[in-house]
Structure 1
């Protein structure tokens, strides 16, 4: 019986991967609701669980592809590959309307560029502090500090190592969690109480899950406005990091 189940799961790897991700997401949102009362978004907890499972898979098999090195979960390698990742990014971008971002005016546009560039610079400085000196690693980690989506996209485009890409994801995850927790506490000090300020805030911070979770804990009515510019932030980061920002970084450290 066990051999039959194993054979069935192995031959239907992609279906199994969707089931594993679904269960993980359900458990993550359960923990978010029961343990943090929604202050830490379920997506952030799901990413932590995913990284933990990938680590366990690597330790158990001695491989380099995380949980997908276990034959039973081989479909996760396809599900987490570049095709579906890029599809998810494009789908997210289609959820934003340019007519909405224009409501924030020039301030919202400036916040987008400023948010990406400042986060990138901070990430590069952190990477330098940890001993990374090559332009590809610096750019990838800097991009990850922007968001945990921009990091792996940039790393894949530049040919960064899996270790560096993992660090970039971790950097973005830390930023997302800090944003979720810190937003309700700083909201009253920065005037985060109206749609315009929410759009500027989303443009400066950029982490869609972090901004959405933080605004949800502050005022749920502000979530759509912050999420709009945060979504554009991700797209802008994916454009700037592997191109202009990489060229600048390479010119300085290459």
Structure 2
């Protein structure tokens, strides 16, 4: 057993891919046998991954989910930003520039609507929690955009560390909701073509959540949604600490 444990620890990334493959295989099997493919196997796999991450963090008391288990530490690298961004960039090979151009004004508009609407929802929650200073309200509102925009905005406006932590938590919750919810609402909102995917990415933002949700819906839509979701993050980092912060200061000291 010690030999096996050592072997797993030394080959963490290989083990992570192996476990992921098993989870995906079982998820596809469950999707076919229990739901007659009405619930995508990818959605089951994503939900299973979240459950395993929670279990791993609960068992070890750590902060990296299942990667806190020594034998499964490879998930820390596999699930990190590098592999995520590499996967998103690699899928861009399947994107059509002609299709992207067709989205035009609707795609650009979705970015501004998505950032402002998410910011307003986050700001409203911040006020509901009792925050009355512009720095805190702006930071939490930015966190509702994405868990990247939150800390960037917090650092720019001078928010406290606990408020920055709340903004990150808000972004993570949003990412999880988008990840799990996208496959369920896709058919009701017409999320079945590249133009719709780009608009959806602009409205939702959260690149990781959008990419995962679209992967569970239709992998061919991932590069389109991820593209506008990436612009969403950049736009949020520009608007939240500047224009939106100034507007919040007009109403809160």
Question: Under a length normalisation based on structure 2, what TM-score does the superposition of the two structures give?
Answer: 0.69
Contact map agreement 2:55 2:65 (CA 8 A) in 1: yes
User: What residue in structure 1 maps to residue 56 of structure 2?
Assistant: 57
Q: CA deviation at 1:6?
A: 0.9
User: Structure 2: which 5+ residue stretches go unaligned?
Assistant: 156-160
Contact map agreement 2:88 2:211 (CA 8 A) in 1: no
Alpha-carbon separation, structure 2, partners of 1:130 and 1:168:
16
Which of 134, 138, 143 matches 1:140?
143
Give the number of aligned pairs. Answer: 233
Given the superposition, is the C-alpha separation of residues 23 and 123 from structure 1 closer, same or farther in structure 2, using an over 3 Å criterion? farther
Given the superposition, is the C-alpha separation of residues 197 and 47 from structure 1 closer, same or farther in structure 2, using an over 3 Å criterion? closer
User: After the TM superposition, which residues 57-136 of structure 1 pair with which residues of structure 2 at under 5 Å, given as runs?
Assistant: 57-126=56-125, 129=128, 133=136, 135-136=138-139
Alpha-carbon separation, structure 2, partners of 1:108 and 1:72:
44
User: What residue in structure 2 maps to residue 148 of structure 1?
Assistant: none
> Which digits, 9 at most, give the CA deviation of each residue in 1:62-114, with x for residues without a partner?
22222222111112122222322332343344543333211234334323443
RMSD: 3.8
Alpha-carbon separation, structure 2, partners of 1:115 and 1:42:
28
Alpha-carbon separation, structure 1, partners of 2:29 and 2:128:
37
Alpha-carbon separation, structure 1, partners of 2:140 and 2:18:
34
Given the superposition, is the C-alpha separation of residues 168 and 48 from structure 1 closer, same or farther in structure 2, using an over 3 Å criterion? farther
Which of 208, 232, 247 matches 1:237?
232
Contact map agreement 2:138 2:240 (CA 8 A) in 1: no
Which of 155, 160, 184 matches 2:187?
184
Q: CA deviation at 1:5?
A: 0.9
> Which digits, 9 at most, give the CA deviation of each residue in 1:188-214, with x for residues without a partner?
xxxx89876676566545635545756
User: What residue in structure 2 maps to residue 30 of structure 1?
Assistant: 29
User: What residue in structure 2 maps to residue 220 of structure 1?
Assistant: none
